[in-house]
Amino acid sequence: MANIAGIPVYKEIGATPAPVTAQDRAPVVVIGAGPVGLAMALDLGRRGHAVTVLNRLDFVAHCSKAICFSKRSLDILDRLGVRDPAVGKGVTWNLGKVFWGAEPEPVYQFDMLPVKGQKNPGFINIQQYYIEDYLLEGCRAHPNVDIRWGHRLTSLTPLQGGVEVEVQTDAGSYTLHADWLIACDGARSTVRDQMGLDFEGRVFEDNFLIADIRMTHEMPSERWFWFDPPFNPGRSALMHKQPDNVWRLDFQLGWNVDREAAVRPENVDPFIRAMLGEDVRYEREWYSVYTFQCRRMARFVHGRVVFAGDAAHLVSPFGARGCNGGFADIDNLGWKLDLVLTGQADAALIETYNDEAIVTADENILNSTRSTDFLTPKSTASQALRDAVLELARDHAFARPFVNSGRLSTPVSYPVSSLSTPDQASWSGGVPPGSPMLDAPYQAGWLLETLGDDFALLTHAWDGDPPAGLRVLQLDEAAASRLAMPPGSACLVRPDQYVAARWHQPTTAAVQSALSRAKGAAPCLH
């Protein structure tokens, strides 16, 4: 199946043989072996569940997709055991710069890691196929994860307590019965089409050229963005460094262009030469033209079929919210499905994935839409407003945060989550319920890496008895200070490292109530 549809191959895998019988079963089926699908399979596999992954290709593709992975995604990859190779291979960066016109100095710059002293950087740049490869290696360490390459879903039938799917291979077809199906099969999701579902939102009328090139020319490992540069007048451009001396160059083209002609080397070369100079030597890695959407499904949970990643929502690439948003999905879903599969929670808990993942998707879509509107003004008034902001940003600090070259991916909070127990007292700082835990130096390592895959209770000199089975971490002064936790306080953290509750003066009963609520039980009134 390799090289189908002209897709370049990064790593050959080979087709997986079909089952020996025409009827097969699996507790959990994941559709799609991209980064989101593999992360989902690895998360559940590490928790001891049998997972079957179906992927229509029989290789890891070598093409231009996601390259920017946020700190929050690195925290998730760390929990899954694959952070170290990603950070070791990736290009680390925290600083982004925004330029306007021909001026050599930026009108604005920003730091993606404003709180220092954390394990992971603000961002790394690394090609998606490397991330897929690391996740694949992680899955291979768990024999309960069965990845079937070259197995294509052709139809599905939702059932009362599961899903029945028809699967096609080169050797024939078979039927697969699943208790749960997780659709991670991308923007052109077959699962979504088979269920007659669609996206809601905006499609943006613009085209952008991606030119991934290989060169040894030395430049800083920073995110550089230009408004109206002399090498692409009236439009925008972006430059990022990737591993292996590969650079991502991105040029706004406008709407009415010949997309096929735009990727011909003789038409791409003038853009590259104008940006980098006539003397820079480079090799073509990958050229493509894309448009984008800011859209999502109305719901992500449909009975026993759950959607995640691009199958559920789409955003523009400005802000790196696509794959990072997909990792946020599986981080939210994995522990909840684990509780359901092990009988510790009712299946209704999965509805809270729908609620919280939609909050994340809407935040990403909102920021992505605003970025795109700022980048590509479509009226004289919006153009004048953008230029006024850029003009002010040169000399006035108050205007610089309004410069929007892509609000980069950060974790999203759930301020009204049904799983959170609201604060009963005022706090001066710290991490409120419904927000992701902040990393901090802890003992000989880091706080987040110590939390593990289960619920944890962080305490600061509290002598109470926690509920049975709940991991307890006694914080030192440095970690407690960062979290604004005074002596005697405690904080309950979910398996996805989100705060579920916190107390100045906790009791065992209060902690037990918050733990039950975080697992989907109706909150108790005290």
Q: Using an 8 Å Cβ cutoff, are 87 and 64 in contact?
A: no
This prediction has a pTM of 0.94
Q: Residue 131: name the closest of 186, 68, 184, 185 by CA.
A: 68
Please name the fold of domain 435-519: Glutaredoxin (3.40.30)
Are 471 and 511 in contact by the 8 Å Cβ rule? The answer is no
3-state SS record for 279-322: CCCCEEEEEEEEEEEEEEECCCEECCEEECHHHCEECCCCCCCH
Contact 194, 181 (CB under 8 A): no
Q: pLDDT at position 294, please?
A: 85
Spans of the chain below 50 pLDDT: 1-3, 525-526
| Residue 90 · residue 82 · CB < 8 Å | no
What are residue 99's phi and psi, to 5 degrees? -115, 155
- Domain limits, the chain: 9-89+121-200+297-366, 435-519
DSSP per-residue codes, 462-504: --SPPPTT-EEEE--HHHHHHTT--TTEEEEE-TTSBEEEEES
Q: 342 φ, ψ to 5°?
A: -90, 5
Distances (CA, A) of 230 to 101, 210, 281, 403, 502: 6, 18, 21, 19, 53
Rounded Cα–Cα distance for residues 31 and 161 (Å): 18
Superfamily of domain 9-89+121-200+297-366: FAD/NAD(P)-binding domain (3.50.50.60)
C-alpha–C-alpha distance, residues 352 and 334, integer Å? 12
CB 63 within 8 A of CB 8: yes
Q: If DSSP codes are grouped into helix, strand and coil, which group holds residue 99?
A: strand
Cα distances (angstroms) measured from residue 456 to each of 46, 119, 498? 18, 19, 10
Distance CA 325, CA 59 (A): 24
Q: Which of 180, 177, 113 is nearest to 353 (CA)?
A: 180
Tokens, residue 349: 């808990």
Kindly state the percentage of the chain with pLDDT values over 90. Answer: 70
Comparing CA positions, the residue from 15, 22, 249 lying closest to residue 151 is 15
Phi/psi of residue 166, each to 5°?
Answer: -100, 130
* pLDDT of the residue at 475: 95
Closest CA to 376 of 196, 477, 236: 236
Residues 280, 215 contacting (CB under 8 angstroms) = yes
> Do residues 501 and 492 lie in contact, with contact meaning Cβ atoms separated by under 8 Å?
yes
Within the chain, how many helices (H) and strands (E) appear? 13, 27
**Residue 340: in which H helix or E strand, if any?**
helix 322-341
Residue type, 496: D
Distances (CA, A) of 293 to 261, 300, 316, 365: 22, 18, 6, 9
Angle at Cα 456 formed by Cα 452 and Cα 458, nearest 5°? 120
Cα separation of 121 and 211, whole Å? 26
According to DSSP, residue 2 is labeled T
Q: Are 33 and 139 in contact (CB under 8 A)?
A: no
pLDDT recorded at residue 3 = 46
| Non-local CB neighbours of 343 within 8 Å, separated by 6+ positions | none
What region, left, alpha or beta, does residue 19 occupy, with left being phi > 0 and alpha being psi -120 to 50 degrees? beta
Residue 456: phi, psi to the nearest 5? -135, 145
**Could you count the other beta carbons within 10 Å of the beta carbon of residue 157?**
13
Coil vs helix vs strand at 390: helix
